[in-house]
Amino acid sequence: METPMPLTPATGAFEARLRAILPAAAFRDYTDHYRLEPRGSYRGADALLVAPADTGQVAAVVRACHEARVGVVPFGGGTGLVGGQLMQGGPPPVILSLERMAAIRALHPAEDVLVAEAGAILADVQAAAARAGRLFPLGLASEGSCRIGGNLATNAGGVNVLRYGNARALCLGLEAVLPDGSIWHGLTRLRKDNTGYDLRDLLIGAEGTLGVITAASLRLFPRPASETAALLAVASPQAALDLLGLASETLGGSVSAFELMHRNGMVFLAETMPEVRLPLDPAPEWSVLVDVGAAAGLDLDAALEHFMEAGVERGLILDGVLAQNAAHRAAFWTMRETIPEANRRIGSVSSHDISVPLGALPEFIARADAAVTALGPFRINCFGHVGDGNLHYNVFPPQGASAAAFAAQRKPVKMAVHDLVHALGGSVSAEHGIGRLKVDDLERYADPARLAAMRAIKAALDQHGIMNPGAVLRAG
Amino acid sequence: METPMPLTPATGAFEARLRAILPAAAFRDYTDHYRLEPRGSYRGADALLVAPADTGQVAAVVRACHEARVGVVPFGGGTGLVGGQLMQGGPPPVILSLERMAAIRALHPAEDVLVAEAGAILADVQAAAARAGRLFPLGLASEGSCRIGGNLATNAGGVNVLRYGNARALCLGLEAVLPDGSIWHGLTRLRKDNTGYDLRDLLIGAEGTLGVITAASLRLFPRPASETAALLAVASPQAALDLLGLASETLGGSVSAFELMHRNGMVFLAETMPEVRLPLDPAPEWSVLVDVGAAAGLDLDAALEHFMEAGVERGLILDGVLAQNAAHRAAFWTMRETIPEANRRIGSVSSHDISVPLGALPEFIARADAAVTALGPFRINCFGHVGDGNLHYNVFPPQGASAAAFAAQRKPVKMAVHDLVHALGGSVSAEHGIGRLKVDDLERYADPARLAAMRAIKAALDQHGIMNPGAVLRAG
């Protein structure tokens, strides 16, 4: 594998060439919307912003970049948390925004399939499915602004992975422009297709480094006929895990979400947003939000009652509230979904999006708490998708202090958490991806044979290293 | 991409080299078990059979083959139907049988994870899960002899894909030997891990052309607390499809299987195996086998009753039998699972493992029937996993005639069926893979950009083209 030549800046002659092949409407101002990292940590360096109107224009841009060796950074909703959509330096790239390709191309309710362009906002995809009486179950805090192409490029997770899988599991087919500008027409609606290598799952999660997703055929589901939720106090993470086992036994596939929350989440909400209602007051040290939904023929209330009774009997549920109606259930979720905003207002020293094998969750929490508090007087807000073994393990300054005062501890805290995750067979990026911020982590923790295979695949599909340079893999 | 040099035969000096690095027990006789295509269509050419005892030995074999440019054909249970496990010519390869690596390495019931070596027989994996009170839902006719490594390499499907997904969806992590002999230690038990390219899903379904799977961590599920089944007569494929929609609405994720059968399956059973009981007699033109299972808290009988009532009310169910007990349910399944053997005894002119978008199933069946019967006096047995849009559309001689008499029609029949499948956006290999028998089909029907990407990936990971030469992609 030879090192690719340095990339050409998307300025001067190259910019003129693009302006000659694309209509004027494709060129947009490179404003802060595109330039700012969503947590405000830094600004992207100079770039040329283009927003093609169709797949043919995307292919024309990529082909030109391939020929001239210009970097291409695909841009969805700009909500990624690992810098995959932003370059902080290097020869100015083309930022290729999918925002003008936001159509729902087709809807097949009887097949439970929807075909969306990459720039469709996630909430719009959900709404289109809902209008057809169907459910598109991908759901995340940023669903009002993130775009489905970005969700797929980063294999987004969210709260319903337990039941419906992550973005990869929700995608049947892709249309994509490959790094040489060729178009892969792969918008299949098939549930089974064993004809060769799984290029779909390779592009999903590749964060735009192997091509640009331009459209996707997505799996829909029947909307549950009945839905409800319970907010339950549990004694410990181990009790939460045992309760998850009980839920799986008694409720089976009806469990849509199983979220663990530490008391500090509620403490932070009370500190920063006292208007948000806390359904369990005083907040227990650990609580679990269980969300369930079932088809018309199944009696969900009876099943949930059965689960709650067994949970109390086994000593797993200490206290709890069952949602009395849809508004009550929504209040549980508002609390859960507002925790990230409370975290943002407090300001973290270091945030970690980790996963470990389910059985190792209690050990992880105990050992990470010990390791982190040994490094300073930190407050830890640990919450997440316990059904997926996925925790957002975030470290904050003590009350009244600012994160800036602990800047020097940021790296030791992160290393302590990540090293422990790795020792337990876990992942240092469960949901968010590698982007540019976790490239070092990938190099530190990835299996060497796999990393070598990744580099070989990248070099084979993107000979000039133009696609999202420096994301996932260090630029050559 | 340069054409790789011709491969070296696994004889003489190379065989001596392998005998020097592997214990004598690794060398086995190359008997008919390995040499015969399962439908008896042909015999494999000469080869050197080795059966390593552990992953280190697999790596040593592959490394030696990589260095000496000797072909490696991974061999599981030998049940594949597209010749992926057999070379009919060329320089004798090493056939690498995983039969001695059949251990269940670990079982984590509370995590719903089992770690098996690639040579474990599928039925043994199912049994190990069952002993721990769990379900491994992959199920196929050959489960008593196929091996999990082969199931993964071919992304096997079967009857429970509708509910649990195909082999790919059931795998959390892999250990594999890559084409250069390096070992990828990827036996993760994580449900979420977004750290780089999805090498797992790339190896799954690559049919041994990108490496040898040596072990896998697999997803388990709670065993349904109650299970039952119904055998229902329906008026047409469209009625079957509408009934599937109703099942999805009323039974949701409780539907484990939804199998469509044409009357000819029962006719063939009566002709060749009159001892097999036909629960609906006389056999209806079209029938559907619905299998359901639910967790402890859910009342399955009530739900199924609700479904059946609605199905009759809407005119979708013409007649039906509800399983009265486990033995009755098993009899339904025996009938369904014996159809392939009846087909074998009749002897097909041409068999097709196809999928189309769900909504196109009725059109496919009508047009394929017309096209095939225009070519000769054929009998068609169309059955399959209608919930996945996957049909086994098999063409037979008229009663009393032999398939041999119609040998000349084999190709036109296949082309007529495959061209129609392709025109409807379907797949010419839904479950069985490409192997060596469908390489032409892949070249004919695959998207050119995707095919080019596949070739680039193959060349990047397997520079010398040693891994399963000529399978999936034509040898260089």
Asked whether the whole model's pTM tops 0.90, one would answer yes
CA pair distance B147, B125, nearest whole angstrom: 9
Q: Residue B2 pLDDT > 70, yes or no?
A: no
Note whether A429 contacts B193, CB cutoff 8 Å.
Answer: yes
Q: What is the ipTM of this complex?
A: 0.96
Alpha-carbon separation of residue B85 from A9, B15, B353, B471 (angstroms): 49, 20, 18, 9
Contacts of A182 in chain B (CB under 8 A): 448-449, 452
- What is the mean pLDDT, run by run of 10 residues, along chain A of 476 residues? 76 96 97 91 93 98 98 97 94 98 97 98 98 95 95 94 96 98 97 97 98 98 93 97 94 92 97 92 95 86 90 96 94 93 94 96 98 97 94 96 95 97 97 96 97 98 97 90
CA pair distance A51, A126, nearest whole angstrom: 23
Q: At what angle do helices A237-251 and A300-313 cross, to 10 degrees?
A: 140
Task: Locate B328 and state its tokens.
Answer: 């009755």
At A93 the pLDDT is 98
E-assigned strands of B103-244? Answer: 104-108, 113-117, 134-135, 171-177, 183-186, 212-219, 221-222, 226-234
CA pair distance B157, A422, nearest whole angstrom: 33
Alpha-carbon separation of residue A312 from A181, A239, A261, A362, A442 (angstroms): 59, 11, 19, 20, 43
At A43 the pLDDT is 92
Higher pLDDT, B469 or A3: B469
At A40 the pLDDT is 80
CA pair distance B231, A163, nearest whole angstrom: 28
Alpha-carbon separation of residue A321 from A318, A331, A342 (angstroms): 11, 12, 23
**Helix, coil or strand: residue B183:** strand
Note whether B169 contacts A168, CB cutoff 8 Å.
Answer: no
Least CB–CB distance from A249: residue in B222, B307, B356? B222
The minimum CA-CA distance between A377 and chain B, rounded to whole Å, is 30
At A3 the pLDDT is 56
User: What residues have CB less than 8 Å from B393, skipping those under 6 apart?
Assistant: B351, B352, B354, B365, B368, B380, B382, B384, B417
pLDDT band at B145 (very low <50, low <70, confident <90, very high): very high
pLDDT band at B3 (very low <50, low <70, confident <90, very high): low
CA pair distance A249, B294, nearest whole angstrom: 9
The minimum CA-CA distance between B277 and chain A, rounded to whole Å, is 31
Asked if residues B83 and B43 have their Cβ atoms less than 8 Å apart, the reply is no
CA pair distance A85, A73, nearest whole angstrom: 6
Q: Most A CBs within 10 Å: which of B187, B195, B209, B259, as the mutation test of the A interface? A: B195
ω before A93 within 30° of 0 (cis)? no
Note whether A298 contacts B254, CB cutoff 8 Å.
Answer: yes
- Nearest residue on chain A to B299, alpha-carbon basis: A298
| A199 Cβ under 8 Å from any chain B Cβ | yes
Alpha-carbon separation of residue A270 from A244, A263, A332, A343, A349 (angstroms): 28, 11, 15, 11, 20
CA pair distance A163, A158, nearest whole angstrom: 11
One-letter amino acid at B303 equals A
Task: Locate A133 and state its tokens.
Answer: 């009486």
At A301 the pLDDT is 86
pLDDT band at B475 (very low <50, low <70, confident <90, very high): confident
Task: Locate B160 and state its tokens.
Answer: 């429970």
Q: Residue B388 pLDDT > 60, yes or no?
A: yes
Q: Are strands B113-117 and B212-219 parallel, antiparallel or unpaired?
A: antiparallel
At A385 the pLDDT is 93
| B169 Cβ under 8 Å from any chain A Cβ | yes
| A2 Cβ under 8 Å from any chain B Cβ | no
Of B206, B148, B208, B200, nearest in space to B173 by CA:
B200
pLDDT band at B299 (very low <50, low <70, confident <90, very high): confident
pLDDT band at B4 (very low <50, low <70, confident <90, very high): low
Note whether A442 contacts B198, CB cutoff 8 Å.
Answer: no
At B231 the pLDDT is 97
What pairs with residue A113 in β-bridges? A108, A219
Q: Residue B277 pLDDT > 70, yes or no?
A: yes
Of A363, A365, A369, nearest in space to A260 by CA:
A365
One-letter amino acid at A215 equals A
Cβ–Cβ pairs < 8 A, chains A and B: 323
Q: Residue B15 pLDDT > 70, yes or no?
A: yes
CA pair distance B356, B384, nearest whole angstrom: 12
CA torsion through residues A358, A359, A365, A367, sign:
negative
